[in-house]
Chains A and B, each alone.
Chain A
Amino acid sequence: AQKITQTQPGMFVQEKEAVTLDCTYDTSDQSYGLFWYKQPSSGEMIFLIYQGSYDEQNATEGRYSLNFQKARKSANLVISASQLGDSAMYFCAMRRPDTNAGKSTFGDGTTLTVKP
């Protein structure tokens, strides 16, 4: 079974500063994928970044980077230069990347509020 833990229900960050959202996971699978999604108040899930379990380098996508520490089973999301539009709920998720029908397991989410 796969499990995702996000220990920060809510986070605050000042505009233009960086923020780290924590995510730890547990799985017995050797191959897996880790994802981060953003969910604004409108409700849609927006894909941010992906890290494969065999990827040696940390994933980056614009202002988003994933601090992947496999031995610690953590996949923290780092948002640099926060913007007001980054205020949203953020979910860490895991699933097997090897099948077309992989189910995702989600963490409880972190609500990020960016202060002006």
Chain B
Amino acid sequence: GAVVSQHPSRVICKSGTSVKIECRSLDFQATTMFWYRQFPKKSLMLMATSNEGSKATYEQGVEKDKFLINHASLTLSTLTVTSAHPEDSSFYICSAPRSIAGGPNEQFFGPGTRLTVL
């Protein structure tokens, strides 16, 4: 079953509103989570690293005031798209690393959130 959940799976909002996306690790704790953005038929672009108990680390070119990240607990990270505009429409995916016995630290991905800004 899924080990990382995202909510909502799909959201449509009006331009100028803010949208919050939740990413939860199920049955394991994640001190770090990652937020990616994906345009149709394109690659995943890392936006930021969410750190539990401290500030998120943003990739170059990502507006921290536009994409607010809060890692409130060891199982929950939230991404808030503030004052959303049509160009923010995209597929947002989170991931959380988890140690696998005898193997590499695996990244488990959430199912993604499709944001459409009208």
A residues near B (Cβ < 8 Å) are 33, 37, 42-45, 47, 50, 52, 89, 91, 95, 97, 99-109, 111
| CB <8 Å contact, B112 and A111 | no
Residues of B within 8 A of A (CB): 31-32, 34, 41-46, 49, 91, 93, 95, 97, 99, 103-112, 114
How many residue pairs between the two chains, A and B, have CB atoms under 8 Å in the bound complex? Answer: 62
B42 touches A103 (CB 8 A): no
Task: Provide the main secondary structure of the chain A interface.
Answer: loop
A42 cross-chain contacts in B, Cβ below 8 A = 111
Query: Whole-angstrom distance between the alpha carbons of A6 and B43 in the complex?
Result: 10
B41 is contacted by which of A50, A103, A111 (Cβ under 8 Å)?
A: A111
Question: Which residue of B31, B44, B108, B111 has the most chain A CB atoms within 10 A of its CB atom?
Answer: B44
The one of A100, A106, A111 that contacts B97, using a Cβ cutoff of 8 Å: A100
Which residues of the other chain, A, contact B46 by a CB distance below 8 angstroms?
A: 103-105
With A and B bound together, what is the CA distance between A43 and B103 in angstroms? 25
A100 with B31: CB separation less than 8 A: yes
Partner of A43, one of B45, B104, B114: B114
With a CB–CB cut-off of 8 A, which chain A residues contact B112?
43-45
A50-B44 contact given A43-B91, A44-B109, CB 8 Å threshold:
no
Chain B residue at minimum C-beta to C-beta distance from A47? B106
